[in-house]
Amino acid sequence: MRNRTVLSLVVVVVCLLAIPLGAALAYDLTQFGFKPAGSYDFGGETVTIISWTAERIQQRYFGEYLPVEGRIEEAEKLFNCKIEFLQTRDIPAVNFNRLMAGDSVNDLWHVQNKIGYWNLVAADTVLPMGEILGEQYYSNLPPSVAAVEEALRYQGKIWGIGTVEWLPIYGYQNDMVFTIYNKEMVEKYGLEDPWELYLNGEWTWDKATEIGLKVTADTDGDGMIDQCLASDARVWDFAVANGATMTKVDENGRVVFAADDLAYIEAFELIHKWRTELKIVDSGCPFQAERSVLGFHMMSLDLPSAMQNYSFDWGMLPLPKGPSADKHYWTVQALSTTLIPKNAKDPEALAALRAFLWREEDVAVNDVLARHVPNQESAQVFLAANQEWDGRASRLFQHLIDEFEEYAKDVYSGMRSPTAAMAEYEPVVQGRLDDLLGQ
């Protein structure tokens, strides 16, 4: 089976410390369809990289990460420019202001689906870079980076050129969602091994339910459940695990609210059952305190902390597969990319500069795995997620759904049916989508 194949990636890390600066010309930008390094000229002008992580990019990535030591200086020489970083949380307002003032002609704009992306794209302030760069560029990006650009298509077009990073994780999703499981509890209670279930294609909602029924208990006799399947389960992620998404593009190209689809309703019904009828999911069962066998919402960015703080043996899996899903679907909680403003003097040169600064080969896979996974099995899961993820995001338009969690809590508790709750909420979100996207 595919999941039994150990994914092996060979990453060549080039040490520039002992190589003359001119050797930077050897980096092959032509693989992306660009002209050779050294062919672009900003005429000594400043290129500004704008991000809410700009200070960390400058100080912690280019300042401290050895594989890219001297990269900024190399780029400034080869592209005949000065590179500056602008730190701001006020995105997209800063971007709009720079565009109106004419200050954005050499800008690279770091954005997320929940931080400025949709506002800037829908307002026609940026260039559709997919049409400018073409297939060769996007086919040579790391798979999970290319998947972001597909997920963020608007009006059928690709707008972003790949993300900028302050962590040495370029090529991997920092917000990928995993399930983690307590191996010691699995052995203690004689449970079916979730890893073996995953390998055999049997890691499903039903199997997770069976595990929960076996471990849920009041262990200290105080009348309160203090050990269970998990402390939390969130419908937006479980919906993706069932093949659903909160929004979709209809046959007319319109983005529509889709949390009232059957596969999404099934995710609501599952969590309601787990919380009320079966009582196998409860906030009083924290994973880190070894009170639950599963943790459903571990993101890549939290894995290094888990590696340091968990004293027990644990592993990683995708979310269990729902009844409407034909395979395991991965999801992320945020999608990051870089946009180029529509008044850019030389958009191709800006894209080439980003590709020069952030390279897949700068990030050694063994280093990434050492920081993020506790064992070889988990390494397979981590790599599979980043290879197989198709761009699905649990909350693609997160900034438009502030009330969704309150509706979800009402469904979990049984105060509302999922169908009624989503029927009430649909026109609210749809109106916001239509206003934002001009549909």
| Spans of all domains in the chain | 11-173+334-363, 177-329+390-437
Checking if the pLDDT of 13 tops 50, the result is no
Q: Closest by alpha carbon to 365, among 5, 3, 4, 7?
A: 7
Backbone angles phi and psi of 227, in degrees to 5: -140, 130
Average pLDDT over all residues of the chain: 93
Whether pLDDT at 316 is above 90: yes
Assigned CATH for 11-173+334-363: 3.40.190.10
Q: Please give the average per-residue pLDDT across 195-205, as a whole number.
A: 97
Q: How confident is the model at residue 297 (pLDDT cuts 50, 70, 90)?
A: very high
**Which pLDDT band holds residue 26 (cuts at 50, 70, 90)?**
low
Tens of pLDDT along 77-104?
999 999 999 999 999 999 999 999 999 9
- What predicted TM-score, i.e. pTM, was given to this entire model? 0.91
- The 10s digit of each residue's pLDDT in 110-137 is 999 999 999 999 999 999 999 999 999 9
**Fold for domain 177-329+390-437?**
D-Maltodextrin-Binding Protein; domain 2 (3.40.190)
Split at pLDDT 50, 70, 90, the class of 22 is: very low
Q: How confident is the model at residue 17 (pLDDT cuts 50, 70, 90)?
A: very low
Over residues 186-211, mean pLDDT: 97
Q: Return the exposure string of 329-359: e unless at least 16 CB atoms fall within 10 Å of the residue's CB, then b.
A: bbbbbbbbbbbbbebbebbbbbbbbbbbbbb
* Encoded tokens for 289: 């305190």
Q: Cα(367)–Cα(358) distance, rounded to whole angstroms? A: 16
Is it the case that residue 11 has pLDDT exceeding 60? no
Identical fold at 11-173+334-363 and 177-329+390-437? yes
pLDDT class of 425 with cuts at 50, 70, 90: very high
Here the tokens at position 427 are 């026109």
Query: Which pLDDT score, from 0 to 100, does residue 223 have?
Result: 87
Could you read off the pLDDT of 251-266 as tens digits, one per residue?
999 999 999 999 999 9
Percentage of residues in the chain having pLDDT higher than 70: 94
Q: Identify the sign of the CA torsion 217, 222, 224, 226.
A: negative
